[in-house]
């Protein structure tokens, strides 16, 4: 068993928790979770979601961390070494390849969307200092941004530079230092926005809107949605958590840190809902515009009318940018680590190569809104097609194989040691059963539901 990684190590369990939470907390937490909660029975959905976190999210997360910490290398090479040690086929390396490619492709279009948040934050900053015009027609502003390939390319490039600047510095000086600043900043911004939401006078309506159980909406479709959200919200299946696990100290308790990450991720999503929905309710905005419709075309209408709306708007888009930044760092790290191990490139050189190729691939997403708007694959735009293949196919398969490898390929002695020998037998048996059978079965249900196979 190796006790350290050539790439560096987290200085503490807290550093890992901040980094892994930063990976899990992304744009989807801020806008998607509150929306789907309100649309799927409020408190009923939250309860089902928490059960799904326990049955799918935690077993797969523990599995990723176990594989990463045991291998102490990039996902591809960790799986190669662990497969050799277990006397299993090296075909398991394909799981690492799948995860690294999925994360890389997601990074390419995630950076484009993150660029939108930078652009809007800059617009509000200019307005705040008296150098910009107010957003009087948010729909026109957003449509104009998407139509401007040059503008999109600039913000996409700037965000990619922000990401590579962190990853190139390594684990301690780059990743850990960044998350130790950005994650507290994210929580402070969330609390500021929550405080504003409370004083709108519509806070309790938002609480009721999000958490009042509506058991009439309990259905197979709602359960599939909750399963999908539990899986995707924790950044699973793309080997990011596996990579971060490789830098986790040997004395860290995997169940404890993994559970902390899952709780933190859920708390951020719920606080975001309690911060956003009082504003949505106060200004009569239709919450059905979840996603880009709510964030970029509906909320700016409220910001224009509310007291201190300019400052609120700038803080809100800064929050989104920070959430996107911490996630993108984890998306770039697996591919960078593999290049460092497999070539003569330095970490800076490897990170720049990954960033450059991801930036160029991201141009496909940029042009899908303007120059190539008429091009489609299976009825989807080029960006939507990339999103569909990664989110609906590659990530679930990655999570499924991760659980199976940890549950079946690794020996019980290894997984028991990594999960902590002091772990009660019933708890270890529960994880083993979920990794071998429960989580894979539920992931297959999610895939079937998402792909409308039944």
CATH no. for residue 261?
A: 1.20.1740
On whether residue 4 sits in a domain, the answer given is no
Which residues, other chains included, contact 62 with Cβ-Cβ below 8 Å and sequence gap of 6+?
A: 254, 255, 258, 406, 419, 431, 435
**86, 409 contact by CB (below 8 A):** yes
Domain extent for 156: 13-450
How far, in whole angstroms, is CA 291 from its chain's centroid? 15
On whether residue 284 sits in a domain, the answer given is yes
Q: What is the mean pLDDT of residues 289-296?
A: 72
Instruction: State the total domains in the chain.
Output: 1
The full DSSP string for 302-356 is HHHHSTTHHHHHHHHHHHHHHHHHHHHHHHHHHHHHHHHHHSS--HHHHHHHHHH
Q: What is d(CA 324, CA 110) in angstroms, rounded to the nearest whole number?
A: 8
**Per-residue DSSP letter, 291:** T
What is the pLDDT, as a whole number, of residue 289?
60
pLDDT higher than threshold 80 for residue 287: no
Query: What residues pair up with 376 in beta bridges, in sequence order?
Result: 381
Say if residue 420 is exposed, middle or buried (CB neighbours under 10 Å; 0-12, 13-18, 19+): middle
Closest to 56 (Cα-Cα) out of 445, 371, 338 = 445
Most distant pair of Cα atoms in the chain: their distance: 66
In sign, the C-alpha dihedral spanning 317, 318, 319, 324 is positive
Strands (E), 213-269: none
Say if residue 393 is exposed, middle or buried (CB neighbours under 10 Å; 0-12, 13-18, 19+): middle
pLDDT band at 290 (very low <50, low <70, confident <90, very high): low
Closest to 159 (Cα-Cα) out of 30, 328, 295, 317 = 328
The full DSSP string for 368-428 is TTTTTTT-EETTEEHHHHHHHIIIIIIHHHHHHHHHHIIIIIS-HHHHHHHH-TTS-HHHH
Q: With b meaning 16 or more CB within 10 Å and e meaning fewer, what string describes 69-79?
A: bbbbbbbbbbb
On whether residue 5 sits in a domain, the answer given is no
Regarding predicted confidence, which is higher, 176 or 284?
A: 176
Say if residue 254 is exposed, middle or buried (CB neighbours under 10 Å; 0-12, 13-18, 19+): buried
What is the pLDDT, as a whole number, of residue 220?
86
pTM of the model: 0.95
On whether residue 374 sits in a domain, the answer given is yes
pLDDT 10s digits, 317-370: 999 999 999 999 999 999 999 999 999 999 999 999 999 999 999 999 999 999
Torsion of CA 226, 230, 236, 241, to 10 degrees: 170
Torsion of CA 51, 265, 101, 434, to 10 degrees: -30
Q: What is the mean pLDDT of residues 167-195?
A: 95
> Cα-flanking dihedrals φ and ψ of residue 11, to 5°?
-75, -20
On whether residue 325 sits in a domain, the answer given is yes
pLDDT higher than threshold 70 for residue 191: yes
Tokens of 130: 């008296």
Q: Which residue has the tokens 């224009």?
A: 304
Closest to 62 (Cα-Cα) out of 316, 248, 226 = 248
**Per-residue DSSP letter, 248:** S
On whether residue 1 sits in a domain, the answer given is no
pLDDT band at 6 (very low <50, low <70, confident <90, very high): very high
> Which of 75-79, 133-137, 366-370 bottoms out in mean pLDDT, i.e. has the lowest?
133-137
Over the chain, what is the mean pLDDT?
A: 92
Rg (CA), the chain: 21
Q: What is the mean pLDDT of residues 133-146?
A: 92
């Amino acid at each position: 068993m190796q006790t350290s990684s050539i790439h560096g190590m987290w200085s503490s369990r807290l550093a890992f928790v901040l980094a892994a939470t930063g990976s899990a907390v992304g744009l989807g937490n801020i806008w998607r979770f509150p929306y789907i909660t309100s649309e799927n029975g409020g408190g009923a959905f939250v309860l089902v979601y928490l059960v799904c976190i326990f049955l799918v999210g935690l077993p797969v997360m523990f599995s990723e961390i176990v594989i990463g910490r045991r291998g102490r290398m990039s996902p591809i090479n960790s799986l190669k070494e662990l497969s050799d040690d277990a006397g299993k086929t090296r075909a398991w390396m394909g799981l690492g390849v799948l995860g690294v490619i999925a994360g890389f492709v997601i990074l390419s279009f995630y950076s484009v969307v993150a660029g939108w948040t930078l652009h809007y934050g800059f617009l509000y900053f200019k307005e705040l200092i008296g150098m910009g015009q107010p957003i009087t027609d948010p729909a026109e502003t957003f449509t104009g941004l998407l139509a401007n390939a040059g503008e999109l390319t600039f913000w996409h490039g700037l965000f990619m530079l922000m990401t590579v600047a962190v990853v190139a510095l390594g684990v301690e000086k780059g990743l850990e230092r960044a998350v130790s600043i950005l994650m507290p900043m994210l929580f402070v911004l969330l609390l500021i926005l929550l405080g504003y939401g409370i004083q709108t006078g519509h806070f309790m309506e938002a609480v009721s809107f999000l958490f009042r159980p509506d058991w009439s909406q309990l259905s197979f479709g709602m359960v599939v949605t909750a399963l999908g959200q539990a899986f995707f919200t924790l950044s699973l299946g793309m080997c990011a958590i596996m990579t971060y696990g490789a830098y986790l100290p040997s004395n860290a308790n995997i169940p404890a840190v993994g559970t902390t990450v899952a709780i933190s991720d859920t708390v951020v999503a719920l606080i975001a809902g309690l911060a956003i929905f009082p504003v949505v309710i106060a200004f009569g905005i239709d919450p059905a515009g979840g996603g880009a419709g709510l964030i970029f075309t509906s909320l700016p209408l409220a910001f224009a009318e509310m007291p201190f709306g300019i400052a609120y708007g700038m803080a809100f888009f800064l929050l989104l940018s920070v959430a996107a930044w911490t996630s993108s760092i984890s998306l770039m790290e697996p591919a960078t680590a593999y290049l460092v191990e497999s070539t003569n490139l330095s970490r800076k050189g490897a990170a720049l190569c990954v960033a450059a190729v991801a930036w160029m691939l991201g141009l496909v997403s940029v042009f899908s809104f303007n120059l190539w708007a008429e091009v489609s694959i299976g009825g989807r735009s080029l960006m939507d097609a990339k999103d569909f293949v990664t989110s609906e196919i590659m990530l679930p398969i990655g999570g499924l194989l991760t659980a199976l490898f940890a549950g079946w390929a690794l020996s019980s002695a290894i997984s028991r040691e990594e999960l902590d020998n002091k772990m009660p037998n019933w708890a270890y048996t529960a994880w083993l059963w979920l990794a071998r059978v429960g989580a894979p079965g539920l992931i297959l249900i999610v895939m079937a539901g998402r792909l409308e196979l039944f």
